[in-house]
Amino acid sequence: MFDSLPAMALLLLAFGLGAGGVALIARRRLQAQRRRFKLLIADRQHFAAFADLTSDYLGIDTVDTEGRCTFSWGNQAMRSLLDSTRINLQQGGALESVSHPDDRETVRGHLKEMLQNRPQRFRARIITATEDVRWIEAHALPFRMDSQSPVSSILYTASDITDQVDREHSHKEDKARFKNLIEQVPAIIYVANDDESHQTVYISPQIEQMMGYTPEEWLEDPDLWSRCIHPDDRDDVLNAYKKTLDQGQPFAREYRVRTRDGELRWVRDEATPVMCEGECADCVVCIQGVVLDITARRLAELATQERERQLRAFFNADAMMMGVTEVKNESQRFIIVNDRLATFFKHPRKAIEGKTSVELGIAQAMRTLWLQNYNACAHTGKPVRFEYQSEATKHWLAATICEIEQRECGAIRFAIIVEDVTQQKIDEEQLQLLNRELNHRVKNNLAKIHALATRIAGNSDTLLDFNNNFLSLVKAMCRTTGIVAPRSRRSAYAARVLHLALEDLVISRGLTINADDTQLDEKQVFTLTLFAHELGVNAVKHGALTTPNGRVVVRAQRIESAEGQRFELYWREENGPPVTTPTKLGFGAELIQQLARTDLHGKLDTQYNSSGFSCTLTFPLTLPQEPTDDAPPKVVVTLPIVNTSLDA
């Protein structure tokens, strides 16, 4: 109230005080002011000393009536920053003077706001006395004398936040790199809530490429994930996910999903629960996971499984016994066997695989034989094949061994193929027997032809006569050989045999053959050929076929008797020259008698009637007489025959 000494003196005089009283009061007032000034000076010194202890920048700028700022006070940090040899402090405020050129306009903008009595907080770069660029965060507070007066000073503090800004920049760069990494990996990254709603709170952009949905669509629809799961996989996946939420266990499943356009894809979903810290350590905060598109891998696996299934089917369906064995030292162990080999051992496959030959009870001699061939295969590096006879089944087996792998433990694995060649052995023995039989028959036939040739020569008047008779017989034998040789059952039909035996003898002559489908064995075919040929030769040279009206009737059929099925051949000549009973049998008569009794083990009845020669031949049948697809019907053949070619 009494801030000035003159005012106080006038007041004292007004109250009637003397000059001495006024002087006393003035002196006391002056002493009080001095004490306050000293206290103020002391407080300012204390504040300055305290301000010098902080590393933050503290300062005061005064503002003149034209709004220009001038630095008036600063702590030690500010004074060090404001190097007077570098900055003219009269040109502006402290912060404006040291601000970075790129931030100076920003600082000026904040100063303008402060002149409007608006406190400011901002960041800017400054240049220190050592030419270093530092980041500061400034807090500025404008002061004025009263609410009506303009801002007269600005108090500010500034902290060096260079390290913080560097960390923020580094964090931003790391965040940008992490985001770029997440968005570039060929997988979906997601974060989901810890409840059964499966609400996704973050999902990477790859969701659109893999599933056809944008991240926004996926985040807005909590049920979209479960709807995309294939119905056959949905329950298993959701139950496993619930277990992850309840027990905090990792989640991992491979399942099928349906994309937006209906395409079916295979994915592998792996997620880890993020647990709370502190008192609720067992609680799940969220689920962090990654989803990989494994469609190509699964298709490849399915294709591989299908190939393995086909190979296994071939492995088991093949007629040969196959497997894989492992040999180490003298131990032989079965690794894999197919069903055929298991059947041979009379054990299930699972009971054989993993067992040694000793455990399976294989004889020592057989184990030694196989071991010798294993060693030979390993030594030469080439497949080894050998044959042996099984002591148990007496079957002949052919085994092939091929080395497929040498293991680090010293064991060697071999692929084995075992084939039952018993039938082949039987066929080889039969072939050898047939070869011996063929040699024997060839010798017999040659001997028979030699004997026939000798006897035909003795009964032929001329060389031409011998040539015709002998050539006709050989042709007939060749034809019947042609119909027997191609047949696996080594048989022929009687009608065909008679036709071929006689066709070369009767040219433009009458011959009737009435025969059924009786089957004759190979020996009967050749014997009946000789028999019919001899009768035909006799009819042509001496019998009914020597006259223009002569004819021969042949009837051949199968008959039933008490002795079983027999074959009957009836031969009758008509309209020929008169016939008388011979007193002595000629070559032809002796031959047919010998063929009937010795070769066919049958009976022959001959009749020399005046009307013509006739005979009846019967002999037992050796082949079962069953109808076959290629059996001819009952035939009646009437010649003359025009085609007499040997190959007809």
pLDDT at 480: 62
CA distance 90 to 71: 7
The residue written with tokens 């001959």 in the block is 606
pLDDT recorded at residue 79 = 76
pLDDT tens string 43-75? 556 566 666 666 688 888 888 877 788 877 778
Residue type, 271: A
- Is the Cα torsion angle 22, 23, 28, 29 positive or negative in sign? positive
Nearest CA to 192 among 229, 232, 223, 228?
223
Backbone torsions φ then ψ of 451, nearest 5 degrees: -65, -45
Distance of CA 81 to the CA centre of its chain: 74
Asked if residue 315 lies in contact with residue 322, where contact means CB atoms within 8 angstroms, the answer is yes
DSSP state of 583: S
421 in helix, strand or coil?
Answer: coil
Task: Report the alpha-carbon distance of residue 440 to residue 438 in Å, rounded.
Answer: 5
Strands 510-515 and 551-561: parallel
The whole-angstrom separation of Cα 188 and Cα 622 is: 86
DSSP, res 4: S
CB 93 within 8 A of CB 71: yes
The answer to whether the CB of 76 falls within 8 A of the CB of 88 is no
Tokens, residue 638 = 């009437």
In this prediction, residue 372 carries a pLDDT of: 93
Distance between CA atoms of residues 452 and 534, nearest Å: 11
Distance CA 246, CA 249 (A): 8
Q: Which helix (H) or strand (E) holds 77?
A: helix 76-81
pLDDT of residue 91: 52
pLDDT of residue 43: 58
pLDDT of residue 599: 87
Identity (one letter) of the amino acid at 635? V
C-beta of residue 374 within 8 angstroms of C-beta of residue 401: yes
Whole-angstrom Cα distance, residue 202 to residue 231? 25
Residues 6+ apart with CB under 8 A from 569: 494, 528, 531, 532, 554, 555, 556, 616, 617, 618
Give pLDDT < 50 ranges for the chain.
1-3, 5, 9-12, 14, 84-90, 485-488, 507-508, 629, 631, 633-648
How would you label 228-246 residue by residue, b for 16+ Cβ within 10 Å and e otherwise? bbeeeeeeebbebbeebbe
When the pLDDT of each residue in the chain is averaged and rounded to a whole number, the result is 80
- Write out pLDDT tens, residues 101-160: 898 888 888 888 888 889 999 899 988 878 888 898 988 888 888 778 888 888 888 888
For residues 240 and 251, give the distance between their C-alpha atoms in angstroms, rounded to a whole number: 7
What pLDDT digit, counting tens, does each position of 217-260 carry?
999 998 899 999 999 999 999 998 888 878 878 899 999 999 99
- The burial class, CB within 10 Å (0-12 / 13-18 / 19+), for 611 is middle
